[in-house]
């Protein structure tokens, strides 16, 4: 247990001694990540349109009490509608409405359709580098599906519950500057600490008396003090002066 504690203490001592290296490496990696996130990665914006799937009725003007079976049936229909929304029949029409700005494959990759909390609501989420385009695609897809589902399923039970809207100050959903900076900071600490520990592990020089004692297992009886070059030069000049005087 003591050996493990000593090893842990030694590691902490090494890290504290080389803390400046850890700090510099971490700062460099963190700032590089922030700069890359802000200036190199294209921001992606998100727009969402919600559709409400109702129980179809022969006479929509008649108010009826919904049974649990009817609600369950509507929820099951949602799974079918999710597939229809992203089908080429719907997407091709949306491409035409957008004047061919995007291809069907482009829309397929930008659109995500999913139910909201097992309800009768379907969300159409679109991601695009421009928020205005994401809003336009999402609303166009919703209205096109609402029009075409009458022809495909012979029912008129879809309503636009909440159309997508542009924001005065849109915030991109990705990349996340906070997350990238946090990951970069953690990575910088780990990498720099690893470099410091690896350097110390492969550095076989004796730096202290304790290093020698730990290696040989014996106590050091004495040590020769380090002589600075300036002291040696002063001694040489003193010796030369004394020699010249004696001559």
pLDDT digits 0-9 by tens, 97-129: 998 889 999 999 999 999 888 788 999 999 999
Quote the CA–CA distance of 133 and 139 in Å, as a whole number. Answer: 10
Helix (H) or strand (E) holding 88: helix 88-97
Pick 45-162's CATH classification: 3.40.50.300, 3.30.10.20, 3.40.50.720, 3.30.70.1130.
Answer: 3.30.70.1130
Answer whether residue 2 shows pLDDT above 60: no
Average pLDDT of 227-236?
61
Quote the CA–CA distance of 199 and 152 in Å, as a whole number. Answer: 69
Average pLDDT of 57-82?
64
What pLDDT shows up at residue 173? 92
> At 243, is the pLDDT very low, low, confident or very high (cuts 50, 70, 90)?
low
Q: CB-based burial of residue 106 (10 Å sphere; 0-12 exposed, 13-18 middle, 19+ buried)?
A: middle
Answer whether residue 141 shows pLDDT above 70: yes
- Per the model's pLDDT, the better-predicted residue between 223 and 172 turns out to be 172
Answer whether residue 82 shows pLDDT above 70: yes
Of 104, 113, 123, 46, which Cα lies nearest the Cα of 85? 113
Answer whether residue 41 shows pLDDT above 50: yes
Q: pLDDT by residue (tens digit) across 162-218?
A: 999 998 899 899 999 999 999 999 999 999 999 988 887 776 665 666 666 666 666
| Three-class SS state of 19 | helix
> At 70, is the pLDDT very low, low, confident or very high (cuts 50, 70, 90)?
low
Q: Where are the domains of the chain?
A: 2-37+176-246, 45-162
Question: How far apart, in Å, are the Cα atoms of 97 and each of 138, 144, 145?
Answer: 12, 9, 12
Q: How wide is the angle at C-alpha 84 spanned by C-alphas 66 and 55, nearest 5°?
A: 10
Average the pLDDT over each of 37-51, 75-89, 212-226 and give the range with the smallest value.
Answer: 212-226
């Amino acid at each position: 247990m003591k050996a493990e504690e000593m090893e842990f203490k030694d590691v902490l001592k090494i890290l504290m001694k080389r803390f400046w290296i850890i700090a510099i490496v971490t700062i460099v990696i963190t700032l590089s990540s922030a700069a890359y996130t802000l200036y190199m990665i294209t921001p992606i914006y998100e727009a969402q349109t919600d559709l409400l799937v109702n129980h179809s009725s022969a006479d929509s003007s008649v108010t009826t009490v919904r049974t649990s079976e009817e609600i369950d049936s509507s929820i099951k229909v949602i799974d079918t509608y999710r597939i229809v929304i992203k089908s080429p029949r719907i997407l091709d029409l949306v491409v035409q409405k957008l004047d061919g700005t995007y291809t069907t494959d482009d829309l397929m990759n930008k659109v995500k359709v999913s139910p909201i909390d097992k309800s009768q609501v379907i969300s159409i989420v679109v991601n695009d580098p421009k928020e205005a385009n994401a809003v336009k695609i999402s609303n166009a897809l919703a209205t096109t599906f609402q029009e075409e589902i009458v022809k495909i399923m012979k029912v008129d039970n879809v309503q636009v519950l909440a159309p997508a809207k542009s924001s005065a100050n849109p915030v991109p959903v990705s990349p996340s500057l906070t997350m990238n900076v946090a990951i970069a900071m953690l990575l910088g600490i780990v990498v720099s600490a690893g470099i410091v520990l690896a350097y110390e592990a492969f550095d076989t020089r004796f730096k202290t008396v304790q290093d020698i004692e730990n290696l040989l297992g014996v106590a050091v009886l004495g040590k020769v003090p380090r002589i600075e070059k300036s002291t040696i030069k002063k001694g040489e000049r003193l010796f030369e002066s004394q020699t010249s005087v004696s001559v």
